[in-house]
Structure 1
Amino acid sequence: MNKAIYLLLVCLLANGPILAQQKTFSNPLRKGADPFVMKHEGRYYTVFNGGGGITVTESRFLTKFEKTAVVWTPPEKAWNSHNIWAPEIHFLDGKWYIYYAASVHKGAPYYAQRAGVLEADNPFGPYVDKGMFYTGDDPETKKDNCWAIDMTLLQHGGKNYAVWSGWTALHDHHDVDQYLYIAELLDPYTLGKRVLLSKPELPWEKGDHIALQEGPQILTHGDDVFIMYSTRGSWTEHYKMGQLRLKSPDSDPLDPNAWIKAEHPVFQGTDTVYGVGHASMTTSPDDTEYWIYYHSKLQLDGGWDNRHVFLQKFTFDEDGNPNFGTPRGSSTLDRPSGEIERDK
Structure 2
Amino acid sequence: MNQKEYHNPIVWQRADPWVYKHSDNYYYFTASVPEYDRIEIRRSLTLQGLGEAQPVVAWRKYESGPLSANIWAPELHYIEGKWYIYFAAARTTETKEGLFDHRMYVLENDSANPLEGHWVEKGQVRTKWESFALDATTFEHRGARYYVWAQKDPDIEGNSNLYISRMSNPWTLAGEQTMISTPEYPWEVIGFKVNEGAAVLKRGGRIFISYSASATDHHYCMGLLQADENADLLDPASWTKSAEPVFQTSEENGQYGPGHNSFTVSEDGEDVIVYHDRNYKDISGDPLYDPNRHTRAQTFTWSKDGMPIFGKPVPDASDAAAMKD
Same fold (TM over 0.5): yes
| Structure whose alpha-carbon radius of gyration is higher | 1
Equivalent residue in structure 2 for 1:206, among 178, 186, 189? 189
Other-structure match for 2:118: 126
Evaluate the alpha carbon distance shift between residue 329 and residue 185 of structure 1 in structure 2; reply closer, same or farther with a 3 A threshold. Answer: farther
Tell me if structure 2 keeps the 8 A contact 1:26–1:332.
no
Question: Offset at 1:133?
Answer: 1.0
Tell me if structure 2 keeps the 8 A contact 1:97–1:118.
yes
> How many angstroms apart in 2 are the aligned matches of 1:134 and 1:329?
41
Other-structure match for 2:244: 264
1:119 partner amino acid: E
Other-structure match for 1:185: 167
The one-character-per-residue Cα deviations of 1:296-326 (angstroms, maximum 9, x if unpaired) are: 1222122231211111110111111110011
Number of residue pairs matched by the alignment: 297
1:326 matched to 2:307? The reply is no
Aligned-pair RMSD on alpha carbons?
A: 2.1
Taking the TM superposition and a 5 Å limit, the aligned residue runs for 1:20-39 are 24-29=5-10, 30-39=12-21
Other-structure match for 1:84: 71
Question: Offset at 1:118?
Answer: 0.2
Other-structure match for 1:301: 282
1:112 matched to 2:101? The reply is yes
Question: Offset at 1:45?
Answer: 0.6
Equivalent residue in structure 1 for 2:230, among 250, 256, 265? 250
1:118 partner amino acid: L
Evaluate the alpha carbon distance shift between residue 324 and residue 332 of structure 1 in structure 2; reply closer, same or farther with a 3 A threshold. Answer: farther
Tell me if structure 2 keeps the 8 A contact 1:25–1:332.
no
Q: Which moved more, 1:58-67 or 1:30-39?
A: 58-67
Give ranges in structure 1 of 5+ residues lacking alignment: 1-22, 137-143, 334-344
Question: Offset at 1:67?
Answer: 4.4
Does the residue aligned with 2:15 lie in a helix, a strand or coil? Answer: coil
Other-structure match for 1:154: 139
Tell me if structure 2 keeps the 8 A contact 1:99–1:152.
yes
> How many angstroms apart in 2 are the aligned matches of 1:274 and 1:77?
35
Tell me if structure 1 keeps the 8 A contact 2:6–2:297.
no
Evaluate the alpha carbon distance shift between residue 170 and residue 108 of structure 1 in structure 2; reply closer, same or farther with a 3 A threshold. Answer: farther
Other-structure match for 2:255: 273
> How many angstroms apart in 2 are the aligned matches of 1:60 and 1:97?
21
1:78 partner amino acid: G
Give ranges in structure 2 of 5+ residues lacking alignment: 320-325
Question: Offset at 1:274?
Answer: 1.4
Question: Offset at 1:170?
Answer: 8.7
Question: Offset at 1:154?
Answer: 2.1
Question: TM-score, normalised on structure 1?
Answer: 0.81
Identity %: 38
Evaluate the alpha carbon distance shift between residue 332 and residue 317 of structure 1 in structure 2; reply closer, same or farther with a 3 A threshold. Answer: farther
> How many angstroms apart in 2 are the aligned matches of 1:176 and 1:199?
9
1:268 partner amino acid: Q
Tell me if structure 2 keeps the 8 A contact 1:37–1:47.
yes
Question: TM-score, normalised on structure 2?
Answer: 0.86
> How many angstroms apart in 2 are the aligned matches of 1:249 and 1:62?
29
Tell me if structure 1 keeps the 8 A contact 2:204–2:306.
no
Question: Offset at 1:206?
Answer: 2.5
Q: Which moved more, 1:58-67 or 1:79-88?
A: 58-67
Other-structure match for 2:42: 57
Does the residue aligned with 1:267 lie in a helix, a strand or coil? Answer: coil
